[in-house]
Structure 1
């Protein structure tokens, strides 16, 4: 493991005062009272503490062991039975980690299955745009994320600039481009095996759900609720998000489970209105999104109003064809009593603007999932026990999902976190951490 780094408080002592930009297009103004603590512009890249690739299946007591939704978790053994155990025994899983940036404040976490081309995070030069960090996840059985090395402070603003993204969606009006299908290299056997929320686990790997014709995506910026955020299966990731801005690019989707907000008119539009490169700005709540499988419910604010649950609302649509000449800035803030999600740039249909939405930690109806960094911030009023049916007629029980005395420090995460979905590449720049001025 890399050596322990100095805390945020030490870095903040030398912080610079840097205001954020004002919002555009009628949304709330961004707060200008921030001091810059850390900044990574990738002008140089000197990783430290590189572990190299090592075997790890999230085993009990290991550095990536979290809960029953781990890659070897009790949930999958319960719903998948002996078949899941056999699948897991028949594959090797590997991880790699290294830190970089001032005082090692950023950490890259990588994971892959055996036989999968290695994902990577490296420094790259973009013509006309300069140095940037490159996420490369060439196969959906590998994943790579960037996270804060330490837990974030009580109040903060995190920013990142997206320079390019190639994780599916349309290009020039086409879902199939550059020999790929929704950003995936074509294959007869590219599925979500061996981690599913339900279904027949006895099927051969190639008979599971085809990811290429389902979805691709990327996490632009999120806040997670557990120590050492790293790639896991998609079920695990969906139970550990506090807030998230991501892309969920559904191949040729025509249903009503995905919609866009037209910020010009304030009216919801069908998925076909966009290009499948939507930005989903989600605050997670204490309700279950699904009756029979894991996943927390969404609160979605947009210029079209507020939706709780139901079809996902994308607040804007990116234009990847225009990048890197055009870029997008994503930001997450945690203030005294709320989270704020923000994205700025020139979007398809709605033009140049900043979209900025906030959600109180607990508004009495939709508390932000696991918002409390410390036990003293929460009294246990949203605790519950969740159960999920198993094929043998029993149930998997997740007891005390948010008890009194719990604490969930904030860590930010961006990248491709799923070890059974998504593949592609993206460039990022200007990763910044701010704390309140005078704090």
Structure 2
């Protein structure tokens, strides 16, 4: 039996802001009593081609090594046995990372595969600016691209972004199958599967025999708060164990099951997923319970105009109207203040038109904590600690101390696609802003 004890999370220093930014004036529509301290309008040239691709072999020597759910993690060795290592050896992973914005307060993280191991990443993602907007382009689901805060966020903050374009799946003109041949935003060429990361099954099968992601789901993270210092693209299992709160899309191709539902904010009634256009926003507070009995992932707490739900079907709070972009934009924001997190979304939504919705939840409310909410050891007493045990062809793995007393987890935001075995498309992002409390 393998035992893994989680390393104490280093207390990352909070984002240090230069004097010029700390004195930045609030814009005319600054929310409430927040004070703007950092902003990126993407008016300066940004091109990831200026940064080199570097091969990342994972493992303890990698800056992207975090825990047993990493791309080369013990969880996958446990669930897949020797076949997992054989599959992982069929390609190399390349990454690039660079800071930008005033005093480097933002960081870009990109990742891609090199399937033929010729030293050149295959169909890599890109991050560039054009006409004052950041363009995130990801031509293959084997890659990932995101923007994150370079350092941990302060104890209280508001972070926001503006969405000006989105093409990561969902229906277009009433169809999941696009006129250009794409399927839910995915290219029609070749097989597209979740290889080589899964929570079970036959790890020895050929890549094209793994789960088909093209006819499963596509998506994008509008804004999320992660619980470790260096968010970057990883496998989807890893991502699902490290979110505190997040607003994302989860666009299921022609889905008719009971695992998703949408809230109609006009009627305040839940409706089947099929009644939507598949362009929903899922605003989720993560909690300590395991969502799945046989695979990693924290349970969901979902507030909407239809009520509050724990677990069960994933709730979309609103349905976006991508056809209105970029003339009509959307704004997403997350706040941490007064012992609570708030998620906010603004824009023109289906059924209701222009609206702003805000959902707030205390760090611990009705006995349910927000996963890894504590930035310092003093904020938490260890009451929600647990061991997670996994068994498979590779033996038994015990992930001990998933939330022990004395632990601390920095808040770091991310925007983009953090999955290296799901999702492909493009998005346009603008006006990333950070606020801290002003005078009350």
Q: TM-score, normalised on structure 2?
A: 0.92
**1:17 is aligned to 2:26:** yes
**2:201 corresponds to which of 199, 202, 224:** 199
Match of 1:25 in 2: none
| Distance in 2 (alpha carbons) for counterparts of 1:14 and 1:220 | 27
Contact 1:121/1:133 (CA < 8 Å) preserved in 2?
Answer: yes
| Distance in 1 (alpha carbons) for counterparts of 2:324 and 2:253 | 21
Contact 1:50/1:98 (CA < 8 Å) preserved in 2?
Answer: no
Match of 2:10 in 1: none
1:47 Cα shift? 6.7
| Distance in 1 (alpha carbons) for counterparts of 2:408 and 2:15 | 22
Deviations 1:188-246 (A, max 9, x none): 42100000111110111010001100000000000000011100000000100000000
Match of 1:135 in 2: 136
Match of 2:126 in 1: 120
Change over 3 Å in CA distance of 1:100–1:308 after alignment to 2: same
- The aligned length equals 421
Match of 2:60 in 1: 60
Match of 1:34 in 2: 34
**2:293 corresponds to which of 291, 294, 297:** 291
1:17 Cα shift? 3.5
Match of 2:304 in 1: 302
| Distance in 1 (alpha carbons) for counterparts of 2:232 and 2:350 | 32
**1:403 is aligned to 2:412:** no
1:19 Cα shift? 6.7
Match of 1:128 in 2: none
Match of 1:77 in 2: 77
Match of 2:159 in 1: 158
| Distance in 2 (alpha carbons) for counterparts of 1:103 and 1:47 | 17
Contact 2:15/2:152 (CA < 8 Å) preserved in 1?
Answer: no
| Distance in 1 (alpha carbons) for counterparts of 2:101 and 2:185 | 30
Structure 1: gaps of 5 or more residues:
22-30, 126-130
**1:368 is aligned to 2:370:** yes
Contact 2:213/2:422 (CA < 8 Å) preserved in 1?
Answer: yes
Deviations 1:264-322 (A, max 9, x none): 11100111111000000000000000001000000000000000000001000111111
Secondary structure in 1 matching 2:254: coil
Map residues 286-435 of structure 1 onto 2, 5 A cutoff.
Answer: 286-391=288-393, 394-435=395-436
Secondary structure in 2 matching 1:419: coil
Secondary structure in 1 matching 2:128: strand
Change over 3 Å in CA distance of 1:263–1:271 after alignment to 2: same
1:6 Cα shift? 7.5
Contact 2:47/2:129 (CA < 8 Å) preserved in 1?
Answer: no
Structure 2: gaps of 5 or more residues:
1-12, 116-121
Match of 2:106 in 1: 106
Change over 3 Å in CA distance of 1:119–1:49 after alignment to 2: closer
Contact 1:47/1:98 (CA < 8 Å) preserved in 2?
Answer: no
Deviations 1:123-142 (A, max 9, x none): 023xxxxx200101100001
| Distance in 2 (alpha carbons) for counterparts of 1:376 and 1:61 | 30
Contact 2:240/2:296 (CA < 8 Å) preserved in 1?
Answer: yes
Change over 3 Å in CA distance of 1:96–1:307 after alignment to 2: same
| Distance in 1 (alpha carbons) for counterparts of 2:218 and 2:260 | 14
1:438 Cα shift? 3.6
Secondary structure in 1 matching 2:77: helix
Change over 3 Å in CA distance of 1:173–1:36 after alignment to 2: same
| Distance in 1 (alpha carbons) for counterparts of 2:107 and 2:349 | 30
Secondary structure in 2 matching 1:150: coil
Contact 2:48/2:126 (CA < 8 Å) preserved in 1?
Answer: no
**1:215 is aligned to 2:217:** yes
Larger displacement relative to structure 2 (342-351 or 140-149)? 342-351
Match of 2:3 in 1: none
1:43 Cα shift? 1.1
Secondary structure in 2 matching 1:261: strand
Map residues 89-104 of structure 1 onto 2, 5 A cutoff.
Answer: 89-104=89-104
| Distance in 2 (alpha carbons) for counterparts of 1:46 and 1:171 | 30
Task: Give the alignment's Cα RMSD to 1 decimal.
Answer: 1.9
Secondary structure in 2 matching 1:325: coil
1:11 Cα shift? 6.0
Secondary structure in 2 matching 1:176: coil
